[in-house]
């Protein structure tokens, strides 16, 4: 029985974390320029991702029902947003895949998150980056090029993400 449990766990590990790996659900590679897209930054106020050129941009895709997302988001709040939000060279966008304003704002308020949590109904933005799998993090450099991607949540991958943000934001100050 113990061997069966170890075998099952080994099969599940890739479902929780696949940082920087080639994955058929990932549509962009490291070094690719992110597609241009617009999104609502507030209800009724639309911006373009191009408006954030010159900044390091972290895009996170999640869903309110996703257990690994719920494990990752408190770390996003504490270790990303609370540390880097005041940096003028940083932007963070958390998109609720297939979720509208009502759902993401209710979830945001219930969890006391203060970072931008935005809707992505119909996977309009998500589908530019991937076909499946959340949570998913994408970091864009100042020119809009993908410099980091991860799928799923693992403490190790999240630590790598934090190390990258610290390095890049130190360089841009």
- Over residues 29-68, the pLDDT tens digits come to 999 999 999 999 998 899 999 999 999 999 999 999 999 9
For the record, the structure tokens of 6 come out as: 């170890």
Instruction: Output the pLDDT for position 172.
Output: 58
* Cβ-count burial 111-142 (b if 16+ within 10 Å, e if not): eebebbbbbbbebebbeebbeebbbbbbbbbb
Within a domain: residue 119? yes
SS3 72: helix
For the record, the structure tokens of 61 come out as: 């895709």
Within a domain: residue 7? no
Within a domain: residue 11? no
Cβ neighbours of residue 173 closer than 8 Å, sequence gap 6 or more:
87, 89
Q: What is the mean pLDDT of residues 126-147?
A: 95
26: confidence class by pLDDT, cuts 50, 70, 90? confident
Within a domain: residue 104? yes
What CATH number should be reported for the domain holding residue 26? 3.40.30.10
Within a domain: residue 6? no
Within a domain: residue 9? no
Of 8-12, 92-96, 114-118, the least confident: 8-12
Residue 146, pLDDT above cutoff 90: yes
Kindly report the pTM of this predicted structure. 0.85
Within a domain: residue 59? yes
The total number of structural domains that make up the chain: 1
Within a domain: residue 14? no
Q: What is the mean pLDDT of residues 18-35?
A: 77
Residue range(s) defining the domain that contains residue 88 = 21-172
């Amino acid at each position: 029985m113990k061997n069966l449990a170890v075998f099952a766990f080994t099969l599940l590990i890739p479902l929780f974390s696949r940082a920087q790996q080639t994955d058929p659900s990932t549509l962009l590679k490291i070094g690719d320029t992110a597609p241009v897209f617009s999104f609502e930054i507030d209800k009724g106020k639309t911006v373009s991702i191009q408006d954030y050129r010159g900044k390091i941009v972290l895009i996170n895709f999640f869903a309110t029902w996703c257990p690994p997302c719920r494990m990752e988001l408190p770390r996003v709040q504490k270790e990303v947003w609370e540390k880097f939000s005041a940096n003028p060279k940083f932007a963070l966008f958390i998109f609720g895949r297939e979720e509208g304003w009502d759902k993401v704002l209710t979830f945001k308020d219930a969890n006391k998150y203060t970072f931008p949590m935005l809707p992505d109904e119909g996977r309009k933005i998500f589908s530019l980056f991937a076909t499946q799998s959340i949570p998913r993090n994408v970091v864009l450099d100042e020119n809009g090029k993908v410099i980091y991607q991860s799928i799923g949540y693992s403490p190790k991958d999240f630590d790598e993400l934090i190390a990258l943000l610290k390095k890049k934001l130190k360089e841009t100050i």
